[in-house]
Structure 1
């Protein structure tokens, strides 16, 4: 069930992204908000909140892949590194790293936007020059963080899953836990469904696209995050025996207590 601890955190971030996109980005794209609203501090707060949740999802996928790697390669150390107390450290590290990335971008006043000159998405950093915001060169540290988020970490996760898949094929003749294999499939599904929008956005940063295509890219990214946020808990609920067993046990317990509670209340009423 440790895997579902990380899944809960990931699903929470996906829900916040979905809700923020639904109430902030989509109305802004449809020009339902005035220019003053889109430039307000509240709008920027939700924009940074979406980015923070997006980074937390990436780090969640990273931790999930590491936990799966321990299960298949370092089974004897799995409980030691992912026991109850250690899980809180892993969960906290996800938010700490996500906040660190967000703080680095906010402190340099960097945001992604479509550049009409280069005709692609770029990370634009601005500096306050006596009350006038001026575009400056992207700091080397921000460039390193950008490369780490968009290329290094997703590639590292993919390599882990490829290595695990190769090990499963190698161990095909041995007895494998169907539950562990199912959880691995679920972890890969989560990684791919959330990485799909990131790949499209990464493509839009390195290749020239029209303004209409840029609008479609942004809508695709937002829509995929909303769909991923809705599909992920549904997928795990219907495919996880642990969750279904837990829910059915709770429902059965509540149902069995129902008549007895009614009888107790009735007896108290007679008294």
Structure 2
């Protein structure tokens, strides 16, 4: 049995030194910096989430944020350990074809989908807070919230399982028989089935898979953006004034996440529509990896870096520790 394969297969093509121009190094450097930064940030956010859990456990939004941060950390750390070495050609071909490599690649895709659905649920929860406040407690109370949290992973697994049972994966310049068409080609979603005599043959992409891809790449990001725009519009209409600083940050977060999702989708759609070279395909894959990381890190970064509650709690803890340290010094000085 073949190992589990991610929807976007790792490229095993050699890239010559002449193809490694400034664009190549900029994309790879940005990917590495984004991966390192997101790993450190998400790890720090998780530590803060655990440390301040007793203060925020009553806030349902914080539950979803912690789940999203966990997925962000997994996807960035996984990229750190497999895709950065792969981008730097530190892995031999045998490693990139191993079951462990495919499993981690599958885990990255799973976390990417969970980030999409986490952002969706967070947007829906905020929408209920602003437009259907009387139903918010009923739909997001302590017992029902577990259903929301579980649904994020269920839908993410459903996407991956659908692609797996349809044996669909994105390949660059490769036919169903596994042969490359040359030094240029397109990314294609190739679906295969087992024919007579156990011969693997290609088949048309199922309509359900095409619809699913459209919803994930276009439908959900647009829906999230519409929710945030509706929230901001209501805030402005209620106040009868311009946006405050926090409300502007709120809208910037939605715009940033939307742009990242759509930038990744547009570039990948371009790679499926026109002929690109091997190095172009490599850069497209790294760009998609980078956008996955940034999209996951956006929401927790905006919250933890702009939240007044977090800053107040941290300053309180730091002041308490400093005061305790000063008291201990004074006691020791008095003893001597």
Query: TM-score of the superposition, structure 1-length normalised?
Result: 0.80
1:192-271 → structure 2 map (5 Å cutoff)? 192-205=259-272, 207-211=273-277, 212-229=279-296, 232-253=299-320
Summarize deviations over 1:138-193 as a string: whole Å, max 9, x none. Answer: 22222222222122222222222333333334334179997677555545544444
Change in Cα spacing, 1:74 to 1:171, as seen in structure 2 (3 Å) is same
Q: Distance in 2 between matches of 1:196 and 1:215?
A: 17
2:134 corresponds in structure 1 to: 76
RMSD: 3.2
Q: Distance in 2 between matches of 1:9 and 1:142?
A: 26
Change in Cα spacing, 1:119 to 1:258, as seen in structure 2 (3 Å) is same
2:238 corresponds in structure 1 to: 171
1:120 corresponds in structure 2 to: 186
2:143 is paired with a residue whose SS is helix
1:162 corresponds in structure 2 to: 229
Structure 1 gaps of 5+ residues are 267-271
Mean Cα deviation higher: 140-149 or 128-137? 128-137
Structure 2 gaps of 5+ residues are 1-58, 175-180
- Contact kept, 8 Å, 1:150 with 1:202, in 2: the verdict is no
Mean Cα deviation higher: 154-163 or 126-135? 126-135
Shift, 1:247, TM fit: 2.9
- Contact kept, 8 Å, 1:110 with 1:123, in 2: the verdict is yes
2:71 corresponds in structure 1 to: 13
1:149 to 203, 216, 221: 216
Summarize deviations over 1:97-143 as a string: whole Å, max 9, x none. Answer: 10111111112221122236693322222224556543322222222
Shift, 1:76, TM fit: 2.0
Count how many residue pairs are aligned between Structure 1 and Structure 2.
264
Change in Cα spacing, 1:7 to 1:251, as seen in structure 2 (3 Å) is same
1:269 corresponds in structure 2 to: none
Q: Whose helix proportion is higher, 1 or 2?
A: 1
